[in-house]
A and B are shown apart, each in its own frame.
Chain A
Amino acid sequence: MYAGLDVGSRTIKFINFDNTVRDSVVIETGVNPLRRCQELLSGRSHERLVVTGYGRHLVASALRGEVVSEIRAFAKGSRYLYSDCHTVIDIGGQDCKVIALSDEGEIQKFEMNDRCAAGTGKFLEIMANTLEIDIRELGALALSASKVVQINSLCTVFAESEVVSLIARGEEVNAIALALHEAITTRIVTMARRVGTKERIVFAGGAALNICLRQLVGQKLGANLAIPTEPQTVGALGAALLAKEFAMSNNTLQ
């Protein structure tokens, strides 16, 4: 078995792989990611482990795993799921990225947000909270909006005060929710245009679970997005595939 672990800011994703995915788990990261990972791995065996995600350096040595960046992991996982994938869009808990792949699947170029939470899952989570809506319902709710309002700010802090004033103006929650999705879409599509997109475009990361984002991003890019069945675990899958690759070539991290 080859294990991939993606230690994200919000959730930890785990995949065990030999010739196919044998095990797939998503749990909350919590305040002690290392302990979470240890609990996750206990009782599961693997020959080799590759760790990715924001917390990779925190846990890798204790778990005797090798480290790769999320960008490489998502590229690998997406390419495995869709052999014709040329672009990966990943929106996770605290970052978003767009990766361009060559015909051979090599990373040609990528863009990633800097420190701010604009355009990330965290942004939606905070806004869902402000609107008193379950994050899982937010996408469907937005799609049922009967009118269009505008959120101008992408900054999480400013956008939240915009939301508050829209509420105070009596705007319907559905329309506000839609406006928030539009704002994120603008951000990610701008990033995608900078990198340059080529089909097939895979949309991965936790935010790809959101039905409204899937629709808007696809519309804005004028493309049919490929959404993996488990968009959250694409990075962990990529890490597991790299673990296998390293084992086969008997290559520690080059």
Chain B
Amino acid sequence: MTTDNKEMWAELGIDLKPHDALLGALGPIFQEVYLSQKNRPEGMGFFDFVVGDIHGIRVQELRQHAMNGGKVVATYCVFVPEELVWAADAIPVGLCAGTQFSVPLAEEVLPRNTCALIKSSFGFKLGRICPYVQASHLIVGETTCDGKKKMFEILNQYQPVYVMEVPNKKTSLSRDLWLGEVIAFKDVIEKLTGNKITLNKLTQAIKSVNERRRALQRLYNLRKARPVPISGKDALLVTQVSFYDDVNRCITQVNALCDELEKRADSGKGVAPAKAPRILISGNPMAIPNWKLHHIVESAGAVVVCEESCTGTRFFSDLVQNEKPNTVEKALKSIAERYLQIHCACFTPNEERLDDIVRLAREYQADGVVHYNLQFCHTYANEAVQVEKLLAKEGIPLLRIETDYSDEDTGQLRTRVEAFLEMIRR
């Protein structure tokens, strides 16, 4: 760690001692989970570098932006329309919340039987160990689950939080409500930044974010190849990094990686043998540095080919349709429509997600689906009952996993994953 970083962290109010411990713990994990993989694409170098300096260079960029009078807007969820943030010359960052490290801190305040994602995110603020939270001027929450909703009220006592109401149905009434929320969010961001969101700026933002979505779509399409040219762990990392990296740099890096993967796919070069079982993971998001399930699955000889998740297809599969709106209102409408196409388990009914799982399993030639559920996430846990029923009907093998960020159940998970692979290999 450079002295520059230390100074910056101190200025941001970071609690340096536990923060050192956090970064100290991350290094060996990243080495074991990522750097020890064989046959990695060279294009992963950028993403390795970003994670290697996870609280350094990007935070410095955000700080520089703030010193120049810009604002930083932190988010936890793919429902927050980032186009509006970029269009106001502010920078959105998706916060991580994927480590056990901050969970015990959160449990000093929040109930223990709350999902790890909520506890981890709250613990980062409570313990002052995340420079992204510290560097942000506004945290934008949303109502995708009751636990988060109430956590945001408490978080608001520590740092300003604005909550968007995501409807729970997909009716026309709900669409109207959501459009109203998007319009209100525009006002919030304009007020925060003092910048007017113009048609020109908004169109530019729509283009950029769509471009990043296309780049990620391209990456995922390349994972349909057999043998698959990139590991699931690496692809997951790319998605995770794209939540907080600069949008234009991210587009360049993802596309450069894809160019390399295209060559790999053309020459039949893969990261795993062609006969390695192909797994679709579906369910809760995996915020950085949560690589637990991917690591178990890929260490057992399978390869993850797709994530039906908010850190996967739900993040980028839909584009804002109107890329050349002629009024701000039309742009907002198109943005609102795009975000309501995210098939989150917070909706009822949510049959579209069930269809997605079957479709993706087919498109990616998955030999099986692993349903990933964070303990105490009731929406996904209950929706899994329907996932199980549908996949049984479609003849697609399914393994349901319920876990959190800790390592204590790794042995049991390995047994279940290995048994599942034995079952689908025959």
Contacts and interface: CB of A to CB of B under 8 A. Distances in A.
Whether chains A and B associate is yes
B414 A115 contact: no
Contacts of A114: 402-403, 409, 412
Interface string B399-422: 000110000110110111011001
A107 B418 CA distance: 13
A106 interface: yes
Nearest to B406: A115
**Which of B408, B414, B416, B425 lies at the interface centre, i.e. has the most chain A CB atoms within 10 A of its CB?**
B416
Nearest to A67: B418
A112 B403 contact: no
Contacts of A54: 411, 415
B420 to A, nearest CB: 8
A115 B419 contact: no
B409 A72 contact: no
Contact of B419 (A57, A71, A106, A254): A71
Contacts of A112: 412, 415-416, 419
A107 B412 contact: no
A239 interface: no
Given A54-B415, A71-B419, A110-B419, A115 B425 contact: no
B426 interface: yes
B418 A254 contact: no
Interface residues of B, number: 15
Contacts of B67: none
- Give the size category of A's interface with B: 10 to 19
A113 interface: yes
A107 B409 contact: no
Given A114-B403, A254-B425, A69 B408 contact: no
Interface string B322-338: 00000000000000000
A115 B412 contact: yes
Contacts of A72: 419, 422
Given A54-B411, A114-B402, A68 B416 contact: no
Given A107-B423, A115-B408, A115-B409, A69 B415 contact: yes
A95 interface: yes
A210 to B, nearest CB: 22
**Which of A72, A106, A110, A114 lies at the interface centre, i.e. has the most chain B CB atoms within 10 A of its CB?**
A114
Interface in A67-110: 67-72, 95, 106-108, 110
Nearest to B301: A253
A71 B408 CA distance: 20
B411 to A, nearest CB: 6
Given A112-B416, A114-B412, A106 B403 contact: no
B25 to A, nearest CB: 21
A182 B9 CA distance: 56
A72 B408 CA distance: 23
Contacts of A57: 414
Contacts of B408: 115
B112 to A, nearest CB: 13
Nearest to A74: B419
Contacts of B419: 69-72, 107, 110, 112
B302 to A, nearest CB: 12
A70 B426 contact: no
**Which of A95, A106, A115 lies at the interface centre, i.e. has the most chain B CB atoms within 10 A of its CB?**
A115
A71 B425 contact: no
Contact of A71 (B403, B415, B426): B415
Interface in A179-238: none
Nearest to A70: B415
A183 to B, nearest CB: 20
Contact of B426 (A95, A106, A110): A106
Interface in A108-149: 108, 110, 112-115
A20 B412 CA distance: 31
Contacts of A110: 416, 419, 423
A69 B300 CA distance: 11
B422 A71 contact: yes
A69 B418 contact: yes
B216 to A, nearest CB: 32
A115 B414 CA distance: 12
A119 to B, nearest CB: 13
30 contacts: A54-B411, A67-B418, A68-B418, A68-B422, A69-B415, A69-B416, A69-B418, A69-B422, A70-B415, A70-B419, A71-B415, A71-B416, A71-B422, A72-B419, A95-B412, A95-B415, A106-B423, A106-B426, A107-B423, A112-B412, A112-B415, A112-B416, A112-B419, A113-B412, A114-B402, A114-B403, A114-B409, A114-B412, A115-B409, A115-B412
Closest 7 CB pairs of A and B: A71-B419, A115-B409, A69-B419, A69-B418, A107-B423, A72-B422, A69-B415
